[in-house]
Amino acid sequence: MVKMKNFKILKIFILLFLWILFFAELKGFSQKLFLKKPGLIKVKIKRVIDGDTVILENGERLRYAGINTLELHTESGKPQPFAKEAYFFNKKLVEGKILYLEINNLRKRDRYRRLLGELYFENGTSVSELLVREGLALVCYYPGSVKYYKKYLPLQRIALKQRKGIFSLIGKEPKGIIYIGNRKSRRFHHPACPEAKRIKRKIYFKSLEEAFYKGYCPSRECFDLIFPNH
């Protein structure tokens, strides 16, 4: 009876070991497959500027496509909420390291002539993914970057539900405000914001949570009205 019990335990350990080997092989295969993905460029990150922008070793500035971290440098001199956290998190992840760059094919540069794309680790995880998961970056709609918007919005919804990072501010805003969204730009405004009056294709949100869940980003013009106590 004891031998039979020991045999069953040994069998379980063998099966567990085989499963670990299987998943290790699968992970290694996935990694090799990712590294063979067309368009990946091996780059070294010289310096991190803020939560979503870095300088490559060749001097090019790279802006992570489809996401936005809050402003580190403002006119008042006071960083927006979680801008510092995003900066330090990004710095820890990438500065001085070699990663893999995938340039956005539909829109290679923004209006400031920065490269647009994603940075990946060898295992296929992107830096943008980690920022969004921690609630340190907002998923924002930009023309030519729709694939990133669709890719990361589900992750933002999880961070929103968990009240991570930026979303920990939800519930602290004044009650009873109806926010006004622009269906074209997918930005939302405080009703007192002058920009809100010029929106032609409007959509209304009863809360900040609803606006973020639908994939709308706060307008730069009235950020202080949306988050008055930051």
**AA letter at 20:** I
- Active-site entry in 47, 61, 71, 107: 71
Largest CA distance in the chain: 81
Q: What angle do CA 166, 177, 160 make, to 5 degrees?
A: 25
Q: Are strands 187-189 and 217-218 parallel, antiparallel or unpaired?
A: parallel
| Rounded CA separation 130/99 (Å) | 14
| Residue 165 CA, distance from chain mean position | 12
Is 71 one of the annotated active-site residues of the chain? yes
Instruction: Name which of 195, 209, 118 is nearest 163 in CA terms.
Output: 209
Q: Which amino acid is at 117?
A: G
Active site residue 63: yes
Choosing from 114, 133, 186, 187, the catalytic residue is 114
In angstroms, rounded to a whole number, what is the distance separating the alpha carbons of residues 208 and 66?
A: 20
75 part of the active site: no
Catalytic residues: 63, 71, 114
